[in-house]
Every structure is written in structure tokens, then in C-alpha cells.
Amino acid sequence: MLRYLPYLLSLALTVFCVIDCLQTDEVIVRNLPKVPWLFVILLFPVVGPVAWLVAGRPDKHTSTQYMTQQERWEAHWKRDRHTREVHEREQRRQPPRGPDDDPDFLKGI
């Protein structure tokens, strides 16, 4: 039973690194594109995942410097929503006021 432990740890590390590589945004992956990193992780059982953790995985400074795909989508959605709200407000303008309700007109009297 104990002799299978290194194989299970190697498999768990490989699975973790594959999932981490797939979920990492392409922009912030270091040293290689994502697809070659996946091949390195899968073809070299222990060395590949360790190489990903050391040389491929983005550090915290880099990962906060760039927006992920989800963050770009959310920013785009919020910007579109704000644009729609402004457009709707412009369409719901109040009818013109009479001259006695206009403060600029009353100042000139």
C-alpha cells in the first residue's frame, strides 16, 4: 500500500498542475504558451509539474497586473450597462419647462 504513495502523489501533482494551467489566462503565463506547458506537464511526470510551478505559473504580482478574461468580460458588461442606462435616461427626458420655472430666465428679469 505504501509503495503506491509516490505514484498517487505524482498523479495528484500532475492533475493539479494541468487544471491550474488550463485555468490560467494565456496573457499571464510565463516563459511558454499554454499548450507547450500542458505537453511538458503531461509528458514529464514529476519534472513537468514542478517546472510549471517554478517557471510557468504566474507570480502574484503579474497575476494582479493583468486582467483575466473573466475580469475583462465583467468590465465590458458593466460599461455596456452604464451606456444603456445613460441612453435610457436621455430618452426619458422631462418635457420642457415653462419660462417661470427656469432659474436662468428668472435671473434675467
pLDDT digits (tens, 9 = 90+) for 36-87: 999 999 999 899 999 999 998 887 766 556 666 777 777 777 777 777 777 7
Helix ranges restricted to H, 1-109: 5-23, 34-43, 47-51, 60-65, 69-91, 103-107
pLDDT above 80 for 88: no
pLDDT, position 65: 64
Q: How confident is the model at residue 2 (pLDDT cuts 50, 70, 90)?
A: confident
| Counted domains in the chain | 1
Q: What is the identity of the amino acid at 63?
A: S
Which has the higher per-residue pLDDT, 89 or 13?
13
41 within a domain of the structure (yes/no): yes
* Number of Cβ atoms within 10 Å of the Cβ of 32: 15
pLDDT, position 26: 83
97 within a domain of the structure (yes/no): no
46 within a domain of the structure (yes/no): yes
Nearest CA to 14 out of 37, 30, 33, 35 is that of: 37
> φ and ψ at 32, to 5 degrees?
-145, 160
Q: Which three cell numbers stand for residue 108?
A: 434675467
65 within a domain of the structure (yes/no): yes
Domain extent, residue 36, equals 2-90
96 within a domain of the structure (yes/no): no
108 within a domain of the structure (yes/no): no
